[in-house]
Structure formats: structure tokens, C-alpha cells
Structure 1
Amino acid sequence: MTLAFPNPSRSFDETRNAVRFIGHDGMFEVRFFIEAGALAKSDVAARRAGSLEAKCLSAFDALRTSIHDIARKAYAQGRRPSYTLTAADFH
């Protein structure tokens, strides 16, 4: 099976300072986090006024396709129950 993202839900995790989203590989749920720092560097986040949470969620929504592509690459390199994506993953 391949990693898919059928559920568009995402949330801001204050403890991790990251946006949390879920992928699915068949029946298996895979948790992903993308650090706020990785999203804050995007043009979308930079143009937005407001809280860090609002900026990160807005940037995530704007970059969703590329974030999912990067998540798939991370997952393909080694399957784990959760992944944290950083700014380095976007280079």
C-alpha cells in the first residue's frame, strides 16, 4: 500500500510547536508533525498577521500538496509510527 491522506484535518500542537496531521497506509495510521519553524519560513506565513497557530495552519493549507509529498518521501525512507518534518526536509 502507499501512504495516503484521505482526511484533510490538521491541528496545531502547542506542546510540539507543530502542525499535526495524519496519513494512512492501508489500515495503519501514521502521525506527522511539521515544525512551526518550517512553516514560518513560507511566504504564506510571512504575509499573515495573527497568532502563530493561525499562521501555521494557513501556511499548511496553502502548502498541503508539497507537505504531503515530503511526508511520503520521509515515510518511504523508513516506516515509523510518527514523523517530524523540519525546514531541512523542504530543501
Structure 2
Amino acid sequence: MSLNFPNPSRSYDAYHHCVNFWGYDNAREIAFTVNHSVISNLSPNTGSDEPAVLAAFDEHREQILTLARGIYVAGPQNRYTIG
């Protein structure tokens, strides 16, 4: 497994209450979604607005990336949900 996260970009999806981010396995882009519930568990006092959720994501980025690495399996799947 050579999953890495060189791109710090992330985006908030208000409709689904989640944050999307991307990793790479060599040249393959792998999309990840982390549900608001996971972020709330990591940071219980997080508000539900975009700036608060993205700030909590940034604060716990390494923990979230560790979760992403834990669920990733090399293969044809290119989208994963955490939570």
C-alpha cells in the first residue's frame, strides 16, 4: 500500500454533513468522505457550520488520515467513507 495525502485540500458537503478529501495510490486518486459524526467524536464541541467542521477536520487531520489508511485496500475501489 502506497497511499499518501500530498494534497491538503478538503471540502465541506453541507447536504451530506461530511468532509471530502483525497489521497493517492501512485497516480490513482482515491476519494474519502468523513462523516460529521466522526469529526464530532474527535472534537465534541464542534459546531455544525462549515468553518467549524473544517477547523475540526484540520485539527484532527492526522487521526483522520490514519483512519483512512486503515480502511483503504488497493484495488478497483476509488471511494471510501469513514464513519
**Cα shift readout 1:5-50 (whole Å, capped 9, x = no counterpart):** 000011101232100000000010000000011112233x50x5x6
Deviations 1:58-84 (A, max 9, x none): 111011111111101100387621011
Q: State the identity as a percent.
A: 37
Point out 4+ residue stretches in structure 1 off by more than 2 angstroms: 76-79
- Tell me the residue number matched to 1:42: 42
Give the alignment's TM-score, normalised by structure 1.
Answer: 0.79
Q: Is the counterpart of residue 84 in structure 1 residue 81 in structure 2?
A: yes
Unaligned runs of 5+ in 1: 87-91
Distance of aligned partners of 1:34 and 1:76 in 2 relative to their CA distance in 1, 3 Å threshold: same
Structure 2 unpaired stretches of 5+? none
Bigger proportion of residues as helix: 1
* Structure 2 Cα separation of the partners of residues 61 and 13 of structure 1: 15
